Amino acid sequence: MQQQTSQEELTRQRDRTEGYLKADPTNKQLLIRAIELNLALSNPAAAEPHALAAVAAFPHDPMIVCLQAHVFAAQHRWSDAAPIYAALLSKISDPDLAFSLATCQLWLGQHQAALETMAPFEHVPDLPAATVTLLIRACQHVGNSARAIALIEQHEARLGGDPVFLAAASLAYADSNHGAEAARLSTAALAHGVRPIEALVVSATLRLEEADADGALAQFQEALGLNPNEGRVWHGLGMANLLKRDFHTAGQQLERAAEVMPTDIATWTSLGWCRVMNKQLAEADAAFARALELDPGMSETHGSIALVAALRGSRADAEAALQRAMHLNPQCVTGAMARLALDGKMGDMEHFRGATLKATAGRKNLFGVDLRAVAERVLDAEAARASSMKE
């Protein structure tokens, strides 16, 4: 009730301020107040005309210019806001300005630039939780998990009550194969009553490890509602549906993951195996070929291509790919499967699907987690159900 009253009061103040502006349209304080009130009401579109008018009247006022950038950022117009913040930061050394610019850079995919923007301010005492969280996320995006974890260890005692910090920290630990720490932090993040996306993704992945595909699906779907363009979520949904043997749905979700993360080898590999299990061999070959382009030295990818060629009846292509796979790694699992296929020893389709499911799960798709044991439990449970039905 208090929040509703506050919103009503803000609305009254905004309406009153805008009324005054009609009589005095270039009054700096009124323009600033109108912008701030509309931003506080989560209405940046209504703030924009005031910001444009303010900049036109006071083009050299840093506060006015900064407010215009805030309006653009609130509308997720990162490419419009970033150069304004950058120009201001070149003249005014301020950690809040740096954070605003780095936020834009993070959303624009300029992760290294975000780290460089924040570098002069990393040692400012008592950095806000939002700033530390941004640094952790940027480190993750550039593949510097060690630095991300160092930041977590440095600040956890002070920021351990912030759920968004905890969520970002849980993902950093998950990416570094510290499952126990990832579980602890994701649980702590979700215990605060909010649902940060990183904590949901980590928790869902841990559910996959427990063979709880339905529980994982529910949390991945919740995460998808927070960010429909998060590749890890689409990948996780695909892996959960693979474990449920819903290959059609899994394929659609893994395709979306590949669209969002076009340079992620594991996603293309998972998609390829899903297509194999769904008997879409041409599509599987295309997915594995894309994975091979990203890393030509992966023996398992060569083995996968050999298997698909064998299943398509292209023996010469299969033998050539198999030779490359076994040269790179004589213990190549997919190469062994390709040899079985070439020798006509793969068995029936259900047996084959079970074998490919285990191979797919073993590719360490999410956060380096090996889901092979999970796949084996799923297949064992299916076999037990089938046996009980026969009895």
Across 355-370, average pLDDT: 51
- The mean pLDDT of the chain is 88
Whether the predicted pLDDT of 366 surpasses 50: no
Closest by CA position to 86, among listed 56, 107, 58, 65: 65
pTM of the predicted protein model? 0.76
d(CA 165, CA 234): 23
Predicted pLDDT of residue 363: 46
Q: Among residues of the chain, what percentage have pLDDT more than 90? A: 70
Across 368-383, average pLDDT: 49
User: In this structure, are residues 283 and 250 in contact, taking their beta carbons and an 8 Å threshold?
Assistant: no
Predicted pLDDT of residue 380: 54
Residue pointed to by tokens 């083995």 = 303
User: In this structure, are residues 222 and 200 in contact, taking their beta carbons and an 8 Å threshold?
Assistant: yes
| pLDDT classification of 374: cutoffs 50, 70, 90 | very low
Tokens encoding 134: 């941004």
Tokens encoding 358: 């285990």
Output Rg (C-alpha) for the chain, integer angstroms: 26
Neighbouring C-beta atoms of residue 337, cutoff 10 Å: 24
Q: Among residues of the chain, what percentage have pLDDT more than 70? A: 87
Q: Which helix (H) or strand (E) holds 359?
A: helix 349-361
d(CA 227, CA 284): 28
Q: What does DSSP assign to residue 119? A: G
d(CA 55, CA 61): 8
User: In this structure, are residues 89 and 117 in contact, taking their beta carbons and an 8 Å threshold?
Assistant: yes
| pLDDT classification of 361: cutoffs 50, 70, 90 | low
Domain ranges of the chain: 24-56
**Amino acid making up residue 304:** S
